[in-house]
């Protein structure tokens, strides 16, 4: 495992005065949820998490950089073609946090042009894809400056930087199943950056679809960065952390054995536990909307009657991710469109990469 200091590049930089880099990065959906971070530490999770990186749900970021001529640095941000000054504080905080590890940033002005192919701040992890896309762009600049930079280091540092922007973003750097946070049963897992899940998984878990039901497109009322902090005074936090730890062990064994029903039960339990934490924090909050609940009941009824492998998970928002094996696609997708469409603003068909 790399320590923090390895990401501080001591090598000499080549000189370039300007350029443009473009990167695309996907969103991810957590199976074991990251909720809560260590106090007085920067983006260190209270528990380890595991996610699937998603296909066809992504952010594209183009980062133009030019050598500073006057003393003051300028950073401009355009989201879907429009200048978005409201996003700047988060970006400036991010640049400040990573300045120690990317000292070359201070010499450039930046124009960030970014777009998502899905609604932002609506429970589809837009901060994960946008922060990882931006971090990949920054690493692309670093690659231009340090010719000896290796691919393995590139990805580890991109994940490390992404984490400093938005915790779960560090998992979006890799495809497939990705782990972030130290867990004693997962080799090389650590709190600083994510790693691809290092063990063999049953073939059923390599072909999973994720159909995302967008129930509410409006930006979230509670940002996850705030929600994490509320775990510090949540009376159930300790039990949750124990449970997350146990669930990770259960997931490791499920992934090996290929038991999809157990997998489904586990991810639904994780999703509802995340919402239970949100509901029992101080201040408390409710992210689900009436149609979220309607969908969950529908899924349970459908499963009981059809015996199909359709399970849900949730982020810290109202939208629902429906996970199922690709071999059951025809029947399940038809049912989703005929029975659930009326509860949604839109349906996004994705897959676990």
Contact residues toward ligand PMV (CB under 6 A) are: 30, 33-35, 49, 125, 127, 166-168, 224-225, 228, 274, 315-316
CB-nearer residue toward ligand PMV: 183 or 228: 228
Shortest approach of ligand PMV to residue 342 CB, angstroms?
26
Q: Which is nearer to ligand PMV, 134 or 274 (CB)?
A: 274
Q: Which of 37, 251, 34 is nearest to 125 (CA)?
A: 34
Q: Could you tell me the smallest distance in angstroms from the CB atom of residue 79 to ligand PMV? A: 17
Instruction: Report phi then psi at 340, rounded to 5.
Output: -110, -15
Nearer to ligand PMV, 149 or 223 (CB): 223
For residue 166, which of 189, 198, 196, 133 has the smallest C-alpha distance?
Answer: 133
Nearer to ligand PMV by Cβ, of 164 and 332: the residue is 164
CB nearer to ligand PMV: give 135 or 168.
168
3-state secondary structure 100-158: CCCHHHHHEEEEEEEEECCCCCCCCCHHHHHHHHHHHHHHHHHHHHCCCCCHHHHHHHH
Least distance from ligand PMV to the Cβ atom of residue 52, Å: 11
H helix and E strand count, the chain: 8, 11
CB of 295 to ligand PMV, least distance (A): 18
Closest separation in Å from C-beta 280 to ligand PMV? 15
CB of 120 to ligand PMV, least distance (A): 12
Choice between 138 and 332, CB closer to ligand PMV = 138
Contact 180, 34 (CB under 8 A): yes
Min dist. Cβ of residue 171 to ligand PMV (A): 7
Cβ nearer to ligand PMV, comparing 159 with 168: 168
In the bound state with ligand PMV, the residue whose beta carbon lies nearer, of 141 and 251, is 251
3-state secondary structure of 25: strand
CA pair distance 309, 347, nearest whole angstrom: 19
Cis omega (within 30 of 0) for bond into 323: no
| CA nearest to 195, candidates 210, 213, 174 | 174
Closest CA to 170 of 206, 224, 198, 134: 134
- Minimum CB separation of residue 248 from ligand PMV in Å reads 12
From the CB of residue 134, how many other CB atoms can be counted at a distance below 10 Å? 29
Show the tokens assigned to 270. 């994780």
């Amino acid at each position: 495992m790399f320590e923090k200091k390895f990401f501080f590049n001591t090598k000499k930089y080549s000189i370039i005065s300007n350029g443009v880099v473009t990167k695309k990065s996907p969103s991810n959906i957590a199976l074991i949820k990251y909720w809560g971070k260590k106090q007085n530490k920067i983006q260190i999770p209270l528990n380890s998490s595991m996610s699937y990186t998603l296909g066809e749900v992504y952010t594209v970021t183009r980062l133009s950089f030019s050598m500073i001529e006057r003393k003051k640095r300028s950073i401009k941000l355009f989201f879907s073609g429009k200048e978005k000054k409201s996003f700047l504080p988060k970006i400036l905080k991010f640049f400040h946090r990573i300045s120690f590890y990317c000292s070359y940033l201070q010499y450039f002005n930046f124009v960030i042009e970014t777009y998502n192919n899905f609604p932002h701040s609506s429970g589809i992890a837009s901060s994960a894809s946008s922060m990882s896309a931006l971090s990949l762009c920054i690493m692309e600049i670093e690659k231009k400056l340090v010719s000896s930079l290796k691919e393995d280091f590139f990805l580890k540092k991109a994940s490390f930087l992404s984490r400093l922007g938005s915790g779960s973003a560090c998992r979006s750097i890799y495809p497939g199943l990705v782990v972030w946070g130290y867990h004693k049963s997962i080799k090389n897992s650590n709190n600083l950056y994510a790693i691809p899940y290092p063990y063999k998984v049953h073939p059923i878990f390599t072909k999973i679809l994720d159909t995302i039901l967008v129930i509410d497109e409006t930006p979230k009322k509670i940002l996850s960065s705030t929600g994490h902090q509320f775990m510090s005074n949540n009376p159930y936090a300790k039990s949750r952390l124990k449970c997350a730890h146990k669930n990770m062990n259960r997931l490791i064994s499920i992934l090996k054995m290929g038991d999809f029903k157990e997998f489904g039960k586990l991810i639904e339990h994780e999703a509802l536990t995340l919402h239970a934490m949100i509901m029992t924090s101080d201040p408390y909050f409710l992210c689900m909307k009436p149609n979220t609940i309607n969908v969950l009941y529908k899924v349970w009824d459908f499963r009981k009657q059809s015996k199909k492998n359709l399970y849900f998970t949730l982020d810290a928002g109202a939208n629902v991710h429906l996970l199922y094996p690709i071999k059951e696609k025809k029947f399940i997708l038809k049912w989703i469109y005929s029975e659930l469409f009326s509860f949604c603003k839109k349906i996004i068909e994705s897959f676990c990469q």
